[in-house]
Chain A
Amino acid sequence: MDTETKQNRQVKLLNSATAFVVVVGAMIALFTKGDHMARLKLAIGYGLLILIFLFGLMILLEIASGKIDLSLLLSETSGGASMSRFQLLIFTFVISLSFFLLVAQSGQFPAIPPEVLTLLGISASTYAVSKGIQASGVPPKKRNGNEKATTEDQPQ
């Protein structure tokens, strides 16, 4: 599939999603009971929810099909997996899952204690510092574990 056809398909998809959201919003605004403000709030709420869901679903499908490539998500420039990236991924997952559970349980935005910020701060700082160290002393990319690199791999 050439680039123009692909772009046309994406534009059509986006137009369809927007039209769907507008139709759902209009139906809710027209056919629900209550005063004007309540109906407007409901229509905007449903419209935004559906729009965000469609965007999220598109990204998920692209990741699942491999069009958004995550194969190097945990890789360092030297080729192996990065421990700093791995721990940041774990903590991001844990905090986001906890956040979602708390919001779902209480139905409101929870207070975020300093411990959570400290935990994420430590994790993200380690990633940033590790990346800085790696960039300062980057060994050339190895091909298979301890396999020796050729002279082509050496930095100029």
Chain B
Amino acid sequence: MRSLAALAYWEGVILLGGFFGIVLWKLLTGRISLSQLLEGDVPDPTNPSKYSSAPSAGRAQLLVFTMFTALYYLLQVLHNPKAFPKLPDVLVSALGGSQAVYLAGKAYDLLSPKLKNTL
């Protein structure tokens, strides 16, 4: 049974590591594109498509909160790999607020021209 557990462990290492490695490699080499990650669509009447890209503060703050929370969580797990770590309520609330700000900004930019036309 011990060798079965060891085999399962190495199988997980190879498959998970392989998948993470391939996705990371494709991100780094640009095969999975990250261009315009921090740019949102904003209304632009001069553009035939009615929208153009512009730097988005909502996306930038979401990126910061996401990376901070993910790194914090990973460090907690690496520090004590016996149980899932407890996340402070403040951090969860901050992340939720950050996501809400991003969504509200996106909804405003994409849906407000349509709403104005309707009204």
Q: A: which residues have CB within 8 A of B?
A: 42, 45-46, 49, 52-53, 56-57, 60, 63-64, 70-71, 73-75, 78-84, 86-87, 89-91, 93-98, 100-107, 110-113, 115-116, 118-119, 122-123, 125-126, 129-130, 133-134, 136-137, 139-140, 142, 145-146, 148-151, 153-154
Contacts and interface: CB of A to CB of B under 8 A. Distances in A.
A97 B71 CA distance: 12
B5 A150 contact: no
Contacts of A149: 47-49
B36 A136 contact: no
Contacts of B12: 100, 103-104
Contact of A112 (B33, B49, B84): B84
Interface string B61-98: 01100110110011001100111101100001001100
A63 B15 contact: no
Q: Which 4 A-B pairs have the closest CB atoms?
A: A80-B36, A137-B110, A139-B51, A149-B49
16 contacts: A70-B26, A71-B33, A83-B102, A87-B62, A90-B66, A98-B84, A100-B16, A102-B82, A102-B83, A115-B86, A122-B95, A130-B103, A136-B114, A140-B49, A142-B49, A148-B49
A104 B9 contact: yes
Q: For chain B, what secondary structure do more than half of its interface residues adopt (helix, strand, loop), or is it mixed? A: helix
A97 B20 contact: yes
B103 A101 contact: no
Contact of A102 (B4, B11, B15, B81): B81
Given A52-B11, A98-B73, A64 B99 contact: no
A130 B11 CA distance: 35
Interface of B: 1, 4-5, 7-9, 11-12, 14-16, 18-20, 22-23, 26, 31-39, 41, 47-53, 59, 62-63, 66-67, 69-70, 73-74, 77-78, 81-84, 86-87, 92, 95-96, 99, 102-103, 106-107, 110-111, 113-114
B49 A154 contact: yes
Contacts of A93: 20
Contact of B34 (A56, A74, A91, A111): A74
Nearest to B77: A98
Given A60-B15, A83-B62, 6 more contacts: A71-B32, A123-B99, A130-B103, A139-B50, A150-B48, A151-B48
